[in-house]
Structure 1
Amino acid sequence: MKIQTFLALLVILVLTPVKQIINLQNYIIFAPANATTQVNQSPVGRIIEADGKVFLKRQNWSEYHPVFVGTELYAQDKIKLTSEANLIAICYANWKTWSLPKNNISQTMDGCLQAKSQCVETPDGCVPFDATRGINQVAITDKIPYLISPRHTLLLPDKPLILHWNPVAGATRYTVTIKSPSEYIWETEVSENQVIYSGELPLKTGVRYTVIVHTDTEISSLDEKSPFSKQDYLGIGFAVISKSQQQEILAKSEELTQKLDGEARVLSIAELYQQNGLNGEAIAILESFIDQGYYTSTVYRILGEIYQQIQLPALAKDYYLQSAELMAVDDVAGRGKLEATLGEVYAILGSNEEAIRWLNLAYKRYEELGQVERGDELKLSLEKLHKQLREESNQ
């Protein structure tokens, strides 16, 4: 598959693992599924191609286990290939690909430099960009015309801006407004749940814009309580990067396009988008890959991760479930992480019995891996969920 669109870079930012996920309704705290080690909390890369048998051992694993495309890599991971195997990873620090020689054991740090977190340059200075996955419960329901896109994302210039929101039962008209912190930019009224911005007033770079949707049934997207940190530059909104910034990443995207093909190309470029705040572009690339008939566990899982990052857990859940159906049976590490994440998402959505089921599955995976600390975290979460269910049944 060829990727025709080359993206732009506002700043390099790196996803940092969330310290906790809080169910605001029930006050249940979950440890993060993606914080796989205490020492190395930020991944330095991801496997984008793996042929043959590839084995990995994390710092707190008891032994090597098979790993597959999509596995995130940490600085202290040790990777082992058989004589017939081949591995390519994308490195977050420099966006270069890294290949491990056959019949070799390598530490990830040998091939991928440790990535460093950065902040977002804004008119107000350098502001931390809160790009963590699954921060807090999102107080939204299907009765709210909550924004789907563009949501918590940077955008490329000179591209049509399509506004898309949740359709509300009973609503026949929607009033859609785009505003900046200082002024209202545009307003229109439509009957569908999406519209293309007319572009009458060009959007400026470096300015955070907000989309507000009102229904003719007196319900507003403002009824969604934003879970994003107050230090978060974008929140639910969006900003446009400049053409000059776009050119900064052209060489990286061109290099990846020329060196890779198929799923590896899609994963690497989507990852480049996502980790640079271009969540909407990353979603478009991955969903386009699916639309063309390519169904892989990794693509569905990363889509779930992005939707969870932008605080749409219901959509994230659907993609995670599809990923689970396609995931290799012997991918113990991948299944453990995915099952733990599904447990968290179901708890955020208030489906505690399903949350318990998925967390139990994840607990068994981490026991198999010998990852005791993570297993203890899940066990604590399970105990809290069981206690809550008992309290609800006694009411």
Structure 2
Amino acid sequence: MARQAPQPALAVAAGSAPEEPPRAAAAGRGLTLALAVLRAGPVAILGLLVLLLGLVSDVFWSLENIGNVLNQSAVICVLALGQLLVVVTRGIDLSVGSNLSLSAVVGALVWQHQSSTVLAVAAALATGTAVGLVNGLLFVKGRLPHPFIPTLAMLTAASGLALYLSHSETIQGAPPLVDEVGAGRIAAVPGGGDIGWFPTATFVVVAVAALLVLATRGLVWGRWVYAVGGNPEAAVRNGIPVPSVLVSVYAVCGLLAGVAALLTMGRADAGSPTAGALAELDAIAAVIIGGASFLGGRGTVLNALTGAFVIAVMRNGLNLLGIDPNWQYMATGVVIVVAVELDVVRGHLESRFRSLQAVSAP
């Protein structure tokens, strides 16, 4: 009788091979779900805050309070949108608060001496843009190692100039149009009586956000901004004018600081040399809470606005509950840490997801 040839040991192991793809597919689906949840982190944080504050406060959902939140968040939203572009390119602008103060003072002074709405608005916007342009040129042309340095220097310089020009006093008065945009309400929106509850400043936020969406998604410049932030070396190799892109980003950030200055002027009917104190921290916090990365190349307009609303809703809720204002800063710090930690976990899961895709690929 012929002896049966032994079966290779590999045949036994091969029997378990068909079970691996389903396991990898299940793990991939689980990671995809987890990533979707983490990417919705900023919206989830905002939704949770709104739900909790609506339960503990009787007036939180009132139209008047919603209008207050929208009006209070307008300046943070505009500053955060400018800061977003800078952070996407791996930078930071610490001077937006001082830039806001200086632009407001210049605009108020021009109005005081010329009584021209056009000149006052143009002066505020030009001042903000000039400060941002100087920041970009110092960083790029001055070959400074990090934008932290020129923007930190500009923070103190612009603040000092605002105090000097105003003689450390608030400049009273602003153009009626600016007052209407900064503090006005839309009576045509139903539910707020004769005065209205919907703030005019929200239209400015929507307009700025829409323009940035069009610029970042529809223009070559927008693709360059994300390319520079994602991989500067590759951007240079692909012929992208990296220095010009960086300078333009800081100029746009400065321009939006000028827009925020006009909103601040209108809200107070004055230009104060301290109007933007610590506003840069709110702008940076909003961008980080919104999920943008200091490593560059990631961040969206919607998420930056979400981060700004998180800060505004949190402060509004603490005020409604009569909690010590000092807790607002501590609460903001906690939310920043939670948002960054969620981003770290998201990065880890994305790495695992790519590894599983590589293993399951034929």
Q: Same fold (TM over 0.5)?
A: no
Greater RCO (Cα-Cα under 8 Å, separation 6 or more): 2
Q: Please report the TM-score for the alignment, with normalisation by the length of structure 1.
A: 0.26
More helix as a share of residues: 2
Q: Which has more strand, going by share of residues?
A: 1
Larger-Rg structure: 2
